[in-house]
Chains A and B, each alone.
Chain A
Amino acid sequence: MSLRLAIPSEGALAKGAERFMASCGLKVSRASSRRYTAAVPAMPGLVALYQRQSDITSEIDGESADVGLVGLDRFRESRREGGDTILIVEDLGFGKSSLELAVPDAWVDVTTVYDLADLAMEFKNRGRELRIATKYPRLVKRFLNRRGINYFSMVHASGGLEAAPVMGYADMIADITATGVTLRENRLRPLLDGAVIQSQAALVGNARLLAVLPERLSLVRELLERVEASLRARRFQRISANIPGESPESVARMVMSRRELAGIEGPTVANVFTDDGLNWFNVQVVVRKNDLIAAVDHFRSIGGSGITVNEASYAFRSRCESFDRLLHSLEPYRNGQEPRSGPQ
C-alpha cells in the first residue's frame, strides 16, 4: 500500500514544493506536466498527486490523499474544524507569505484596522457596505469580527484581485503577498496592522487514516525523518581544520576555550601523519551557519590551517521529533474513538 502525498500543481507554492522535495532527497519524477501522478524514486512507497492548492485540504479530508503540502493560510481557510485533517509539520521553511488587508493608496485617511472599523461604520451610516474582495473569506471575516468590525461584505473572487477596487466590484482587498510589489504596482497599500495570517508551507495529513493504517504511517515516518533531518541540516555546517599541538587533549582544550564554537557535543580530534614529524591534529566540529566566520577565526587564532567546510545533507537526532508529535496527535483517533477537536 502506498502513501499518497498531494502536492500543489500550480500557483506560488508549486515551484517551492518541487524544490523542497528535491532538497530533502525526494526528487519527484513527473513524466510530463500533464500527468497528475508521479513517483518518487528515493521512496518507492510514495506517490505524488498533483492537485490545485485550494483543493488539497478537502482532498485529504475526503480521504483521496493521505498527506499533503499546503500553505498554512489555505489549510486554515478550508479545513473542517474538528475534522480529520491535522497539521503535522507547520514550518517547512518555504512559501512564506502574508495575507494582508490592503486599501487604495489614495485612502490617506486609512492606515490601521481601527480606521477600517470607523470607515465601515461610516459606510453603513450612508447605506453602503464595505466590500472586500478575497480568496480567503473565512479567515478575513474572523479577523475583522474579532476586532469589532461587522459591517462589511465579502466579494468572492479568484485571480486578479488587485484590480477589484479600480474596476469597482470591491472597495478593498485581502490578498496574499510575499513582497508587496504587486500591491504597490496596483496602487494598493497594506494596513499597518492588517496581516490576517503569516503563512508558510506545511505538511498536513488525515489523522483518522494514519491511525488505522500502519503501513502508511510507517511511510509517513520515513518521510518525516527525511524532512526533519534535512530542515535541521540547513542550519549547520561541518568545519574541518588542521591544528598543531602537543597532544589531542591540549588541542581539544584550545578548541573548547570558545565552547559555543566547539560543536554540540564537542570536537572530534584525530592525528595527522606529517612528513616533517611535527604534531598536527585534525579537528572537526558542527556549528550553526551563523557562527561560521567566528569559528574560522577561532581556529586561525589557535594556529589552524587547511580549513574546509562541508554542507550536511541530513542532521538526525536520536529520535524523529515530528513523528513522535504525530503519534501523540493520533492517540485520540485510535480505538475508533474520534476526537471532535483536532490538535491545532
Chain B
Amino acid sequence: MNSPRSIDRLPGMADLYSAEIDRRDKLVRTLQESYELRGYQRVDTPLLEQTELFIRKSGGDLSSRLYGFKEPGGYEVSLRPEFTAPVLRFASKGRASEIPARYQYAGPVFRYPVTEPGGQTERGEFWQLGAELIGPNAPAADGEIIAMAMEGLALLDAPESVVKLGDVGMVWQALQPFGLSQRAILFMLNSIGDLRQAETEVHRVRKKARDMGLTGNQPTANGPPILQGGSDRAPALVESVLGEASNANSFFAGGSRSKEEIAERLARKLTRAEDPARFDAALDLLGKLASLNGPPAEVFDKAEDALKGAGQTTEPLENLMQVVEAAICEGVPREAIRLDLGLARGILYYTGVIFDAISAGRPVGGGGRYDGLTRALGAKQDLPSLGFAFNLHAISEVIPAGEIESKPEGSLVVARGREAAPAAAREAARLRQQGSRATLDFNARSDLETLRPTARSAGYASIVAVAADGAIQREDLL
C-alpha cells in the first residue's frame, strides 16, 4: 500500500474562510440586534439532544434526516435539526407569566442532505436564526412573528421579499362539519401536498383512503377475507378467524400480541370506517381550498365561494383575515403578502397560520403557530406558541455579497539573521501593545527583496526588519 489516502469532508459539510465567517456574523448581529429591540432574549440549547425530542415534533421526513447515534452512555441522541423543540422544552420549564415569553436563537443545525440523482448535494449543516413567542393566543401575535421575518429580510436587503400564508386551523375547522374522525381529518391534512398539485390528485387520494381502509372497503388481494365484512359482524368474525389461526397449529402464532389484543384492534378498525359520501364531499372542498393562492383579497373571495358552495359559513376564514390585517399593522407591505391555502409543511404540529418567507423566488425561512407542540413534548397543557426561523445559508445565497474588505493591514516582523530573533519578538510584542497587528516571520532573512511580493499578497501593510542590535527598518508595502 502506498501513502494513506486523504480524508475528505463529509457530504454536505463546508469549511468556512474568514470572509465567509465575517459575513455570517454580520447577518446574525444585524438580525439579533433588531429582534432584541422587540424584547426577544437570546437562548442557546445543546447541539446534542435525545432523538425522541425531535421525533415527537417533526416525525416523517425530518426524522429520516437526523444525524442520530447511540452515545457512550446508552442514550439515543441526535444533532439538532432545528431549534423549536429544544427552545420550547427550555421555555416550558420556566415560570408561567402573564407577559409572553420571547426568545431568539442562532446556531448550526444538521439535516442529513438529500442528494438528487446526478444532482448536487445540499447542505447538511447550516445556520438557523429564529424566534419563539410563547403565551399569546391573539392574531396580533401571528402578525408580530410574520412582521419580524419580513423586517429581517428588509434589514438584510434581501431582494423581492414575499411572505406566503396558509392556515392549518382554517382547514381543520372547514372539515369539522363533515363529521369525520380525527384520523380521517389527519389523513386529509397529510394529503394536502398531493391535492394542491392538480385536480386529478383528488382521485388518487380517494383511492389511497380506500386502500387504507379509511372509507370502508378493505383491500382483499391477499389480506384476510374477514375484512370484507360489515362492522357489526366484527367481534364474531374476529373470533372465528383467530380461532382458525390458532387451531391450525398447536400454538397461537401471534408472536408478541395476544389474541384479545388483535381482536380488539380489528374491531376498532372495522367500526371506524368513514361514510364514503361525506369523506368525498370533504375531500372535494379540501381540493378546492388547497389549490387557491394569490393576493389576499382574491383568495378570500374564492375561498368564501368554496365554503358557501359546500353549504358552510365563512367563519373559518376569519382568523386568517385578522392575521393578515395584524401583519399589515406591524408594517408588512400589503403587496408583499400572498395567500397559499395549500401550504402543507410540517402539518403534524402546526395548528394555525403557517408561512414561508421567500426572497428572489426561493424559500429562505418559515414559521407558524403550533399550540399543541408543548404538550406533545410532555408539558402538562397546551401552551400557545409560535415562531419562525431563517436558513442563513439560503439567505446568504440571495442577498448581494457586499464588499469583502481586504485592506492591507499590520506588519510582518522579520529577524535579520538568527541572532536577531529575540529582538524581533520584542518588537512584535511592542507593536501589538500599541494595538496594531504584528506577525512574526520565523525565517531569519538577510534579503527582503523576495519577501516583499509574498507579504503584499498575504495582506500586510508593511515589513518591519529587526537587526540583532535592535535597529529597526520599516518598509511600507502600499
Chain A residues close to B by CB (< 8 Å): 81-82, 104-109, 111-112, 114-115, 119, 122, 131, 141-142, 145-148, 150-151, 165-166, 168, 171-172, 187, 189, 192-193, 338, 340-341, 343-344
B238 within 8 A of A: yes
Q: Is the CB of A122 within 8 A of B265?
A: yes
Q: Is the CB of A148 within 8 A of B226?
A: no
Question: Would A106 and B265 be within 8 Å (CB), given that A81-B11, A142-B64, A340-B121 are in contact?
Answer: no
Question: Would A145 and B253 be within 8 Å (CB), given that A108-B245, A343-B117 are in contact?
Answer: no
Q: Is the CB of B254 within 8 A of A104?
A: yes
- In whole angstroms, how far apart are the Cα atoms of A338 and B9 in the complex? 11
B60 within 8 A of A: yes
Q: How far is the CB of B462 from chain A (nearest CB, A)?
A: 38
Q: Which residues of A contact B246 (CB under 8 A)?
A: 106
Q: Is the CB of B115 within 8 A of A82?
A: yes
- In whole angstroms, how far apart are the Cα atoms of A341 and B252 in the complex? 49
Q: How far is the CB of A328 from chain B (nearest CB, A)?
A: 10
B21 within 8 A of A: no
Residue of A with least CB distance to B10: A82
- Give the most central of A151, A187, A192, A340: most B CB within 10 Å: A340
Number of A-B contacts (CB under 8 A): 111
B97 within 8 A of A: no
B227 within 8 A of A: yes
B255 within 8 A of A: yes
Q: Which residues of B contact A105 (CB under 8 A)?
A: 245, 253
B403 within 8 A of A: no
- In whole angstroms, how far apart are the Cα atoms of A17 and B238 in the complex? 46
Q: Which residues of A contact B63 (CB under 8 A)?
A: 145, 150
- In whole angstroms, how far apart are the Cα atoms of A146 and B63 in the complex? 8
Q: Is the CB of B256 within 8 A of A171?
A: yes
Q: Which of B8, B55, B117, B256 contacts A344 (CB 8 A)?
A: B117
Q: How far is the CB of A238 from chain B (nearest CB, A)?
A: 37
B120 within 8 A of A: yes
Q: Is the CB of A192 within 8 A of B222?
A: yes
- Please name 18 further chain A to chain B contacts, defined as beta carbons within 8 Å, in addition to the given A166-B253, A340-B12, sorted by A numbering: A82-B11, A82-B121, A104-B255, A106-B245, A106-B252, A106-B254, A106-B259, A109-B262, A112-B219, A119-B265, A145-B64, A147-B60, A150-B55, A166-B255, A192-B219, A192-B221, A343-B117, A343-B118
Q: How far is the CB of B264 from chain A (nearest CB, A)?
A: 9
Interface string of B83-98 (1 = CB under 8 A from A): 0000000000000000
- In whole angstroms, how far apart are the Cα atoms of A99 and B86 in the complex? 36
Residue of B with least CB distance to A109: B266
B257 within 8 A of A: yes
B154 within 8 A of A: no
Q: Which residues of A contact B309 (CB under 8 A)?
A: none
Residue of A with least CB distance to B255: A165
- In whole angstroms, how far apart are the Cα atoms of A251 and B379 in the complex? 87
Q: Is the CB of B242 within 8 A of A106?
A: yes
Return 18 A-B CB contacts under 8 Å, by A number. Answer: A106-B254, A106-B262, A108-B245, A109-B266, A111-B213, A111-B223, A114-B212, A122-B265, A145-B60, A168-B256, A171-B255, A171-B257, A187-B253, A340-B8, A340-B11, A340-B12, A343-B117, A344-B115
Residue of B with least CB distance to A113: B212
Q: Which residues of B contact A82 (CB under 8 A)?
A: 10-11, 115, 121
Q: Which residues of A contact B8 (CB under 8 A)?
A: 338, 340
B211 within 8 A of A: yes
* CB neighbors of A among B1-30 (8 A): 8-12
Q: Which residues of A contact B458 (CB under 8 A)?
A: none
* CB neighbors of A among B239-277 (8 A): 241-242, 245-246, 249, 252-257, 259, 262, 265-266, 269
- In whole angstroms, how far apart are the Cα atoms of A150 and B269 in the complex? 21
B73 within 8 A of A: no
Q: Which residues of A contact B252 (CB under 8 A)?
A: 106
Q: Is the CB of B115 within 8 A of A81?
A: yes
Q: Which of B121, B249, B257 contacts A341 (CB 8 A)?
A: B121
Q: Is the CB of A146 within 8 A of B61?
A: yes
Q: Is the CB of A104 within 8 A of B253?
A: yes
- In whole angstroms, how far apart are the Cα atoms of A338 and B266 in the complex? 54
B224 within 8 A of A: yes
B374 within 8 A of A: no
Q: Which residues of A contact B224 (CB under 8 A)?
A: 108, 111
Q: Is the CB of A341 within 8 A of B11?
A: yes
The 8 A-B pairs at the shortest CB distance, nearest first, are namely A145-B64, A165-B255, A82-B11, A109-B266, A106-B254, A111-B223, A104-B255, A187-B253
Residue of B with least CB distance to A82: B11
Q: How far is the CB of B258 from chain A (nearest CB, A)?
A: 10
Q: Is the CB of B262 within 8 A of A107?
A: yes
B218 within 8 A of A: yes
Q: How far is the CB of B442 from chain A (nearest CB, A)?
A: 31
- In whole angstroms, how far apart are the Cα atoms of A168 and B257 in the complex? 10
Q: Is the CB of A109 within 8 A of B11?
A: no
B72 within 8 A of A: no
B361 within 8 A of A: no
Q: Which residues of A contact B9 (CB under 8 A)?
A: 340
- In whole angstroms, how far apart are the Cα atoms of A146 and B212 in the complex? 17
Q: Which of B64, B211, B253 contacts A106 (CB 8 A)?
A: B253
Q: How far is the CB of B52 from chain A (nearest CB, A)?
A: 9
